[in-house]
Chain A
Amino acid sequence: MSDNSDLVQSLESTFAGKVSKLDLVPAQDAVLVEVSAVRDVFKHLRDSLKFDYLSSLAGVDAKDHLEIVYHISSTSIKQKLTVKVKLPTENPEIDTICDIYRAADWFEREVHELYGIGIKGHPDLRPLLLPEDWDQGHPMRKGWTGRDFIVKPE
């Protein structure tokens, strides 16, 4: 939780219109990135701003839209950054970043199978956590039901 607004501001000015500041609770450096600019932003973060480590990559179903949340950090300048991308519920697609951060590989497979988000350019999108013969859609989506799924009564 660093109070380093320089980072967010510099990102906003470098990618004008594509990156905007996010106010999260608790306070942290966070930006919202347009889907089209994801690869450029992460390349810039890795090559110019010393963010060399992808800690996590998670999907979120916010009901009216989907999100991917990236947490990246820097081992040299000791900073963290949260990057969010909003995606539509219908046919969500995003570019892979697994050639920029190798750690994204399995995270993206997970997001792909559990949320049904298309990962363009990913080399290997086999199911990672779900059974090999899974045919029942994307179980982490809100309102999903399937075989043997028992909804908790109110």
Chain B
Amino acid sequence: MGVVSKLPVYFEPIPGGGLVTAKLEQVLDWGRASSLWYMLFGLACCAIEMMCTGASRYDLDRLGMIFRASPRQSDLMFVSGTVTHKMAPRVKLLYEQMAEPRYVIAMGGCATRGGPFYYDSYSVLKGVDLIIPVDVYIPGCPPRPESLLEGCLKLSEKVKKEKLSDWSRDVRQ
């Protein structure tokens, strides 16, 4: 019963028996928060930092996060970098191709509010939240891997709090 002793919040052993009871909601949330698969998708220099976070030194695998090369299999999208007006419809399309429930982390200043391209730029979208809902914003230019890990942990906290009743609709919109 190693898992049960580690997760008293989610599981309750029945005395004298091999059964455990738990709320379905909590078990599912726990499972999903522990395996947030992210989409293999990068936009600009932030993507380099994201790759670094995924590689062995920082290792997103520790959080159960591995990249998927298809939006159909992804739970999470890092918007890692500058979103241009030309790229925006493609980003939106990728988001729409992901199966619900789906999450978005806006990584760095550009994805959050245009960053250094806020002023005097004809080509840059002033924040990815103008086209898709965002769960976690990470400041930095680009954010260090530690910041990105922090953002992922914040997101898993959020995922753990979700209610079954929220799943059928996108409550953020």
In Å, the complex CA distance between A144 and B86 comes to: 19
Asked if B167 CB lies within 8 Å of chain A CBs, one says no
Could you list which residues of chain B lie within 8 angstroms of chain A, going by C-beta atoms? 85-86, 118-123, 125-126
Q: Chain B nearest CB: distance from A147 CB in Å? A: 8
Give bound CA distance, A152 to B121, whole Å: 10
Bound form: Cα–Cα A41–B138 in Å: 54
Minimum CB–CB distance from B159 to chain A (whole Å) comes to 32
A107 to B25, CA, bound (A): 57
Give chain B nearest CB distance to A61 CB in angstroms.
Answer: 13
Can you sample 26 A-B contacts with CB below 8 Å?
A129-B86, A129-B123, A130-B86, A130-B123, A131-B85, A131-B86, A136-B122, A139-B122, A139-B123, A144-B122, A146-B122, A148-B85, A148-B125, A148-B126, A149-B120, A149-B121, A149-B122, A150-B118, A150-B119, A150-B120, A150-B121, A150-B126, A151-B119, A151-B120, A152-B119, A152-B120
A128 to chain B, nearest CB (A): 11
Nearest opposing residue in chain A for B84, CB measure: A131
Given contacts A129-B123, A139-B122, A148-B85, 7 further A-B contacts (CB under 8 A): A136-B122, A144-B122, A149-B122, A150-B119, A150-B120, A151-B119, A151-B120
Complex Cα distance, B125 from A131, in Å, reads: 13
Considering residues A130, A146, A148, A151, which has the most beta carbons from chain B within 10 angstroms of its beta carbon?
A148
Query: Nearest Cβ distance between residue B9 and chain A, in whole angstroms?
Result: 45
Interface of A is mostly: loop
CB neighbours of A151 from chain B (8 A): 119-120
Residue of B nearest to A153 (CB): B119
Complex Cα distance, B118 from A28, in Å, reads 37
Q: Which residue of A lies closest to B87 (CB)?
A: A131
* Chain A window 22-55, contacts with chain B (Cβ cutoff 8 Å), 1 for yes, 0 for no: 0000000000000000000000000000000000
Which residues A105-149 have CB closer than 8 A to chain B? 129-131, 136, 139, 144, 146, 148-149
Contacts of B125 in A (CB 8 A): 148
Most buried by A among B120, B122, B123, B125: B122
